[in-house]
């Protein structure tokens, strides 16, 4: 029970840091003015067009596709697989479980392999491509290492040494209802959860901020209407 | 002035998070009500082991029986149902069509589909039933 209490406290703390941290960053991004009209052309000339452009950026990584096919391939495979994996994880947080979440369960587990393959490709690039290696920081390696380790420990639970999934879900539900339930103490699971805690804590202070940050890119989120509407923000408004 | 705006935002953020978290406190956490075995005080393996690994045993049993022709009783699906049965109001064992069925109690909770019962019976007694889809 000691273990359950420790992990419960850690999860509450990490969740708070994640929500407050990312919320604060979003508030800062939203307040930061973009004084110049700089949509990368050809750019949409209507709001709806911008929404469509952003949708393509988020779902198929359009700009990355145009700039580098290999990075796009590995990056996109990694992100799509990650999305599937996270969707599969929703079953721990819902009762009853949504039908879509139940239906993708069998695919979600293979997505883990795709996710690791994508990460391996992205990581290899940071060693093998000179220009990328030159701009790679330690934190770039650590982020990739963290995600690879989360993936491997997850696969460990799935394929090497099982945990009691029903008890684990009860523990997660217990956190959500403030009704503490015992956490199974299996090696792979504890490693997996510890790494996830680290991910939650570093999220608001790392490159993972590209998730909210993406929506604030002036080159992608501006309407191409400099003649129709005078653009003012920050010092151009003074 | 800037300072006070930050404080106010911080307050609302905290209040919102608190409200979100306290919403579900109304009831206890939903946990499955795992039915007691009807007889015996020891499963074919230790309970903790069964909770984590019953699927491996069943799949191994299937491979042994179907591919190698070795039919044993200990880890057979039929043997599970000699103890793990849930009875309805009339005292009859419920089939897998009922959410109260022994397997479904947890499988629904964990969102894990099982296809055993498309061919196999889900009640003790060994009578032939097919098509008991979840
Ligand atoms: C809205 C969702 C997301 C979008 C649209 C998105 C998009 C992108 C894009 C465009 C890149 C740039 C690839 C490059 O130019 O090298 C990238 C990199 C990356 N993303 Fe995301 N991302 C999303 C969510 C996430 C999440 C949830 C995580 C992890 C928890 C994540 C982890 C990473 C990592 C680690 C990299 C760097 C890969 C490397 O080191 O080469 N992303 N993302
Ligand atoms: C509180 C959060 C989390 C919990 C409770 C959790 C729990 C689990 C469990 C129990 C498994 C084994 C599933 C099985 O045996 O069927 C698993 C697998 C896995 N987890 Fe997590 N996990 C969490 C967060 C994450 C995050 C944030 C990621 C990715 C960044 C992740 C990536 C994986 C992967 C790749 C697998 C293997 C594939 C699969 O079974 O879906 N997990 N996780």
Tally the domains of chain A.
Answer: 1
- How high is the pLDDT of residue B7? 65
The answer to whether position A200 is within a domain reads yes
3-class DSSP state of B114: coil
Under 8 Å CB-to-CB from A113, ≥6 apart: which residues? Answer: A155
Task: Tell me what pLDDT residue A48 has.
Answer: 97
Domain total of chain B:
1
Phi, psi of B87 (to 5 degrees): -100, 145
B24/A177 touch (CB, cutoff 8 Å), yes or no: yes
Band of residue B36 on the pLDDT scale cut at 50, 70, 90: confident
Looking at beta carbons, which residues of chain B come within 8 Å of A179? 28-29
pLDDT, tens digit, 9 for 90 and up, residues A30-42: 999 999 999 999 9
The complex's ipTM works out to: 0.84
Residue B52's domain comprises: 33-134
Share of chain A above pLDDT 90, in %: 95
Mean pLDDT of all residues in A200-212: 97
Kindly state the average pLDDT of the residues A77-86.
97
Q: What is the pTM of this model?
A: 0.89
Instruction: Note whether residue A238 is domain-resident.
Output: no
Token pair in block for residue A25: 């960053």
Dist. CA A140–CA A29, nearest whole Å? 22
How many other C-beta atoms can be found within 10 angstroms of the C-beta atom of residue A8? 17
Please write the tens of the pLDDT for every residue from A18-31: 999 999 999 999 99
Residue B2 placed within a domain: no
Quick check: is A7 in a domain? Answer: yes
Is position A187 within any domain? yes
Closest-lying ligand to the alpha carbon of A186?
Answer: 2
Q: How does the average pLDDT of chain A come out, rounded?
A: 96
The 10s digit of each residue's pLDDT in A211-222 is 999 999 999 999
- On whether residue A89 sits in a domain, the answer given is yes
Q: Is A124 part of a structural domain of the chain?
A: yes
Domain ranges, residue A171: 2-38+66-221
B80: buried, middle or exposed (CB in 10 Å: 19+, 13-18, 0-12)?
buried
- Asked, for residue A47, whether it belongs to a domain, the answer is no
The pLDDT of residue B8 is: 67
Q: What is the pLDDT of residue B3?
A: 47
Query: Which among A204-213, B23-32, B79-88 has the top mean pLDDT?
Result: A204-213
Any bridge partners for residue B87, and if so which?
B93
Nearest CA to CA, how far is A200 from chain B (Å)?
16
The CATH number assigned to the domain holding A78 equals 1.20.950.20
A185 in B contact zone (CB under 8 Å): no
A105, A117, A154, A167, best to mutate for ligand 2 pocket (most atoms within 8 Å of CB): A154
Higher pLDDT, B124 or A10: A10
Q: Is the pLDDT of residue A84 over 60?
A: yes
What is the predicted pLDDT for the residue at A151? 97
Tens digits of per-residue pLDDT, B90-114?
888 999 999 999 999 999 999 998 8
Token duo for residue A126:
């940071």
B28 within a domain of the structure (yes/no)? no
**Residue B14 covered by a domain:** no
């Amino acid at each position: 029970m000691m273990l359950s209490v420790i992990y419960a406290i850690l999860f509450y703390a990490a969740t708070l840091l994640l929500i407050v941290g990312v919320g604060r960053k979003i508030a800062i991004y939203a307040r930061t003015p973009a004084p110049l009209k700089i949509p990368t052309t050809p750019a949409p000339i209507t709001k709806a067009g911008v929404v469509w452009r952003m949708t393509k950026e988020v779902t198929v990584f359009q700009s990355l596709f145009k700039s580098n096919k290999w990075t796009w391939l590995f990056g996109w495979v990694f992100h799509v697989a990650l999305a599937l994996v996270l969707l599969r994880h929703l079953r721990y947080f819902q009762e009853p479980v949504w039908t879509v979440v139940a239906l993708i369960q069998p695919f979600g587990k293979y997505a883990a392999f795709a996710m690791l393959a994508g990460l391996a490709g992205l990581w290899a690039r940071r060693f093998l491509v000179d220009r990328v290696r030159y701009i790679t920081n330690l934190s770039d390696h650590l982020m990739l290492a963290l995600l690879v380790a989360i993936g491997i420990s997850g696969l460990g639970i799935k394929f090497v040494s099982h945990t009691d999934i029903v008890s684990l879900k009860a523990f997660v539900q217990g956190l959500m209802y403030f009704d503490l339930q015992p956490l199974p103490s299996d090696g792979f699971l504890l490693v997996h959860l510890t790494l996830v805690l680290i991910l939650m804590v570093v999220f608001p202070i790392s490159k993972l901020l590209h998730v909210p940050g993406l929506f604030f890119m002036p080159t992608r989120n501006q309407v191409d209407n400099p003649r129709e509407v005078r653009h003012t923000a920050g010092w151009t408004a003074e | 002035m800037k300072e006070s705006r930050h404080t106010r935002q911080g307050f609302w953020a905290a209040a919102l998070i608190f409200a979100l978290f306290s919403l579900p406190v109304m009831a206890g956490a939903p946990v499955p009500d795992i039915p007691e075995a009807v007889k015996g005080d020891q499963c074919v393996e230790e309970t903790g082991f069964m909770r984590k690994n019953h699927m491996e045993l069943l799949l191994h049993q299937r491979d042994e029986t179907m591919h190698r022709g070795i039919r044993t009783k200990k880890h057979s699906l039929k043997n599970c149902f000699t103890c793990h049965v849930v009875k309805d109001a009339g005292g009859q064992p419920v089939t897998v069509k009922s959410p109260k069925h022994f397997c479904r109690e947890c499988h629904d909770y964990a969102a894990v589909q099982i296809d055993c019962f498309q061919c196999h019976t889900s009640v003790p007694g060994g009578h032939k039933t097919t098509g008991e889809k979840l």
